[in-house]
Each structure stands twice: as structure tokens, then as C-alpha cells.
Amino acid sequence: MIIDCHGHYTTAPKALELFRKAQIAALTDPKAPARSFKASDDEVRETLVPAQLKLQIERGTDLALFSPGAGRMSHHIGNFETSSEWSRVCNDLIAQVCRIYPKNFVGVCQLPQSPGVEPKTCIPELERCVNELGFIGCNLNPDPSGGYWKDPPLIDRWWYPLYEKMVELDVPAMVHVAASCNPNFHGTGAHYINGDTSAFMQFVTSDLFKDFPTLKFIIPHGGGAVPYHWGRYRGLAQDMKRPPLTELLKNVFFDTCVYHQKGVDLLTSVVPVENVLFASEMVGAVKGVDPETGHRFDDTRRYIDGAAHLSAPQRHQIFEQNARRVYGRLNKVLAQRGLA
Amino acid sequence: MIIDCHGHYTTAPKALELFRKAQIAALTDPKAPARSFKASDDEVRETLVPAQLKLQIERGTDLALFSPGAGRMSHHIGNFETSSEWSRVCNDLIAQVCRIYPKNFVGVCQLPQSPGVEPKTCIPELERCVNELGFIGCNLNPDPSGGYWKDPPLIDRWWYPLYEKMVELDVPAMVHVAASCNPNFHGTGAHYINGDTSAFMQFVTSDLFKDFPTLKFIIPHGGGAVPYHWGRYRGLAQDMKRPPLTELLKNVFFDTCVYHQKGVDLLTSVVPVENVLFASEMVGAVKGVDPETGHRFDDTRRYIDGAAHLSAPQRHQIFEQNARRVYGRLNKVLAQRGLA
């Protein structure tokens, strides 16, 4: 089984966008009409069959850990109530996807974060998604302000109540920023990657995982800049008298959303194979075909297959085994669906 | 000749730090005593002989393009007057270094940037450094706010008067942030790398180099995350109907401050060799010895020598020729010193 741990429902029905627009309009217009969102199962099928499902078949991948569009989380908009309503709608839609296509998708939730609001307020929605909707992970935004980085770093006690709940529920978080509203940061080309790099370096400087030995984070987009600068991070940790990076790798994992062969070669030869989880982010940041290869940039399976230094068992770890280990609830969910 | 295009005077005499502390104290204490800074030539020698000069000899590198400490630029402190005084002091000290050791150092200046202040205010100091002190480049901070990214992006017309002057003087800028005062960003482990990544993506989205066909930027720290995500950037440019990245490479260059062999292998096999400039950042971000190699992490010459796919002429490009081409005033300065 090939498990893609990083997929967003970027192709969601147009009505979802209209709902969000109405929600945003109502923030400043008290007379805005009441709003609701509901997609029929057919509408959901129409958005997945020619996109994620088609690509799964073409690429021979089996299952995506599927979450709402990441950019569209836009936690910087409105307040906690805004994010709360928006998260419920988006997460319910993911649950609908998983109900219609139980062989293809397992849910990962968006959290109702809001700038300056304590992360513990996200606990009820996390519990709802895990306990009621059968989700197995969450996306955690290290910068709810959308590019101004005004909240405390991920290693601050500000986040601890949420971490306690994640540990209790046995769900990891993918550290994933949302849209950038800072003109200095292009979303998918800068803010996403910076968020990854910044989170990793926060972890390097902290004893967070002494406090939470079983807390797990996946850093997407191949870990931002981290594997490329692995020597820098090893050296910084050493200069700062921090433990070697290998200590951190008990709790921190990287996905394979790196869109060329040499990048994936680097990732999989620098980071231990047991810390690398297959992912493509499709349909996501980069949609086009690479003229150098004739294949889509985000067809990352080809790069794992093409990494000559990997053995077949190592590929199996990256494609399947690591996801089953890091997402502690995945095996049970798959068993319930008869996919064990 | 081996030219290291990225060195900061991080080992400057202690008195410089005391001057800065007095300057900062005076911002809030009108009764603070008058301050001045002067280092004797012997004091300068004492800080360089056991550090940068010793390492140049050990590593067999010849010349460093040398600028004031980057973190210490701290443009977020005080106002334009603060940055102006601080820049003059720091740049004069670099000029003193170059006078004492003309075979070893060529000057690159700090600019008196200040958050919210138009970059054109930096022109007099740039002119002074180039025309009077013989400097050949400048460090340009894309985020004078020190981690909150409040000023316009580098592609905004806000920066254009300074670019006009850079073009007129034929000096490139290294895009280099200063210290981070945002607890989310470790300085050398996150803010530096994010600054590099963000600047490159700004360039991808803009027609800046149509307006300034001869403007040149060096992106340090191996280009942040960019070479590792080269496929992502190629794909984003293509999806956005922007020119291919090769167009950008007429104006944008990368240094080799990547502290492990596999990172340098990636950089030099993904980015065209004519766009890679040798650099070590010594004595800088990472000072220790890599236990895996027995050599210092920042001894980047070893990685260039160790990159098996590079030919001798290609190494010569990286070590010397590219710097002579990108820093348009370098050859003349070296000739004046009898080092042509």
C-alpha cells in the first residue's frame, strides 16, 4: 500500500468558496444573509474523480491522508468564532469524502486557530474530528497571523494543553501554515517553506520532547530548508550544546513533497529513512508538468522509485510503514474499513 | 586565487560591542555619556590573526569579501540616525581591516537601513563606502524590522532609488537579514534561511530585472531552501506564467555556505555553476568541528573540492571567476593592490 500523508481538498466544490466569502462578508456587514454549506455526494465525486482519484490511479498510490485546503485555513481572518465555524464546515466535508471513498481517503483535520487565542480552544474540534469523524491527525499552524508571526513559538507552554490532548488521542500534527497575508511572503513559494524551517529550528532549541516524549510532528515540504542545510543544523545544535539531531528524530518526521529527483535524493540520504513519509501534496502547490521529465512536478512517487540508493525495504518504509507508525490510529481505521 | 564572497567581522574588538551598548543606552537615557569608537591597528590584528587569517591559511583560501557582523546590523534598533551612526562606525572598521590586510580582505558595507524608512536614505553611506573606502558591494536587509517583515518586499518601487545607485556604482548586494527579534525565528537557524528563500521567491514573481537588467543579488546560505526545492520553484514559475528560472539567473547568484557535502553536491548540480560563488561565512554561524568529518562545518572549500561531478575549470569558476564577474569593481580593486 502506498500512503500519501499530505493531501488537501483543494478541489472542493465551488459552493465551499461561496460559503467562505459569505462568512467573511458577514464579519463587516451585520445584515449579511444567513449562510450554510452542504455538498451532495455527487458534487463531491465530481471534484475528486477527475483530480485526486484520477491521479491516485495514474500514479499507483492507494490512500491519501486528506485535510482541508491549507492556504484556505486563513486563520488570520476574523476571530475564533470565524475559524471555529469554518473548521467545522471544512472538516465535515473531509468526513464526507472519507465516507464516500473509504478506500482512498483518511481524514486529517483543520484546527480553529485564531491569532492571539490560546490553542487549547482547538481541543473540542480536535476531539470531535478524532472521536466522532474518525480522523487520525491534524494540521497545526505555527503562525495563525498569516505571515507576521505574532503568536508564541511552538515550543512555548502556550501550546501545551493542545499537545496534551494530541498525546492522549495519539494523533500527530503536520506543522502547516495557511495563506500569507504578508506581501513579503509568497504562500506556497516562501511562507510554507519558511514555516517548516522555523518550526524545526524551534524544536532544536527546546526541551519540548522531554515534556512530551510521544508527541509527533510531521514537517511537510521535505522539511523546508532543513535537509539541504543538515550540516548547519547539526553544527548549530552542537554549538548550542543541544542533543544531536538524532534525538529530535524520535518525534519529528519529514514528508517527501520535494519536486525534483535530486532534492528527494538528498532528503532520503541525509534524513534517516524511518523519518521520511511519502507525500505529494496533490492537487496542490505545483500543478504543471515538468518539461525536463514529461511528468508532473508533484508526482513524487517517481522520485522515490528513482532514488537509486534506496532498497526495496526502504521504499516500503517510506511508502507505507512509517505512516502506519507515526499516525498511531491509522492501522485501526484501516482495519475497520477492511483495508488492514 | 580562492575568493570567499561571504565573511563578516564577527570577531571585531570588544570595544565595538561596548560602543553599540552605549549607543543603545543613549536611545532611552538622554544623560548617557558621549561615546566614540576607535580600534588600534594592533587591536584589529589581534582579532583577525587567530581567527579569519588563521583559517584562510589553513584552508588555502586567499581573499574574503568582508563586511560587518550581519546579525549585529540589527536595523530594528532605534531609528535612521541610530543605524547611520552604527553603519559608519562598522564600515570604517572594515576599511581599517582592508588597509591593514590588503591581500586578505576587500570591503562590503552595511547599510543604514531602518524600519519604515525609505531605502534611498542609504545612498550616501553606500556612495561613501564605494567611492571613498573602496568597497565593492553591500549587504541589503530585506527585513529591517528584524523578523516581523513589515517593510515592502524587495520588488517594490520603495527600493528602486537604491537599486539605481547600485547599478550606477556597479555594486551587487548580498540579500542578508540581521538579527531576529521575533521569538519564532532563531537567527542563523531560521531567520537567515527564510530571508534567502523569501527574497528569491519575490524575484520569481516580479519584473524587477526588466527594470534593472544589470542589477545583481547574491543570495547567501546556499540560497536558503531554493536549490533543494528547485523543482518547486521551476514549477511555480511555470504555473504562474513567469519566465523560466534561467532568466532570473542573469541577476541572481548563490553562495556556497552549505555545511555538508551532500548539500553542496545538490547546490552545484542543480544551479548552473556560473551562478555559484564560493563562500564560507567564517567565522560565523557554525563554529564547531563536524564529528563525522573531523573538519569544521564551515570549511566549505572541502565540499567544493569533494564534489565529484565538478571539473577543475568549474571549480575555478566557483572559487574565483564568478566573484570577479559578479562584483564588477573587484578586478580594479585587486589591480590597485597589485593582486590582479
Check whether A271 has a pLDDT greater than 90.
Answer: yes
Would you state the cell numbers that stand for residue A25, as one nine-digit string?
462578508
Contacts of A227 in chain B (CB under 8 A): 228
Q: Do B235 and A190 touch (CB under 8 A)?
A: no
What strands lie across the sheet with A63-68, from one edge to the other?
A3-9, A63-68, A105-110, A137-140, A173-175, A217-219, A252-255, A276-277
**Interface confidence: ipTM more than 0.90:** yes
Angstroms from B194 CA to nearest CA on chain A: 5
Q: How far apart are CA B288 and CA B291, in angstroms?
A: 9
pLDDT in tens, B262-319: 999 999 999 999 999 999 999 999 999 999 999 999 999 999 999 999 999 999 999 9
* Cβ-proximal residues to A116 (8 Å cutoff; 6+ apart), any chain: A144, A150, A151
pLDDT score for B265: 98
Out of B142, B153, B297, the one facing A231 most closely (by C-beta) is B297
Q: How far apart (Å, rounded) are the C-alpha atoms in residues B45 and B97?
A: 8
pLDDT in tens, A216-228: 999 999 999 999 9
Indicate which residues of B carry an active-site annotation.
281
Question: Is pLDDT above 90 for A69?
Answer: yes
The residue-averaged pLDDT of A49-68 equals 98
Q: What is the pLDDT of residue B30?
A: 87
- CB of A191 within 8 A of CB of A185? yes
> Quick one: pLDDT at residue B34?
86
Q: Over 90: is that where the pLDDT of A115 sits?
A: yes
Q: How many CB atoms lie under 10 A from the CB of residue A326?
A: 20
Residue A34, pLDDT above cutoff 90: no
d(CA B244, CA B204): 9
* Contact at CB, B231 and A263, closer than 8 angstroms: yes
Contact residues on chain B for A221, CB-CB shorter than 8 A:
229, 232
B228, B230, B236: residue with CB nearest A189: B236
Q: Quick one: pLDDT at residue B137?
A: 98
pLDDT recorded at residue B340: 79
What is the mean predicted confidence (pLDDT) over A277-281? Answer: 98
Sign of the Cα pseudo-torsion (A205, A209, A212, A217, in order): positive
CA distance B158 to chain A (A): 13
For residues B277 and B323, is the Cβ–Cβ distance under 8 A? yes
CB pair distance less than 8 Å for A258 and B228: yes
pLDDT higher than 90, residue A30: no
pLDDT of amino acid B165: 98
Q: What is the pLDDT of residue B93?
A: 98
Look at residue A5 and tell me whether its pLDDT is greater than 90: yes
Provide, as residue numbers in chain B, all residues whose Cβ is less than 8 Å from the Cβ of A258. Answer: 228-229, 231-232
How close A267 comes to chain B (CA, Å)?
Answer: 9
Identify the three-state secondary structure at position A12. Answer: coil
For residue range B167-201, what is the model confidence (pLDDT) as tens digits? 999 999 999 999 999 999 999 999 999 999 999 99
Q: In chain B, whose CA is at the least distance from the CA of A198?
A: B190
What's the pLDDT score for residue A340?
79
Indicate whether A38 pLDDT > 90: yes
Residues A207-218 pLDDT 10s: 999 999 999 999
- Are B290 and A185 inside 8 Å of each other by CB? no
d(CA B247, CA B277): 18
The residue ranges of chain B whose pLDDT is under 50 are none
User: How distant is the Cα of B235 from the closest Cα of chain A, in angstroms?
Assistant: 6
- Verify cis geometry, omega within 30 degrees of 0, for the bond prior to A286: no
561596548: which residue's cell? Answer: B18
A163-201 confidence digits (pLDDT tens)? 999 999 999 999 999 999 999 999 999 999 999 999 999
Determine the Cα–Cα distance for residues A269 and A307; give it in Å rounded to an integer.
9
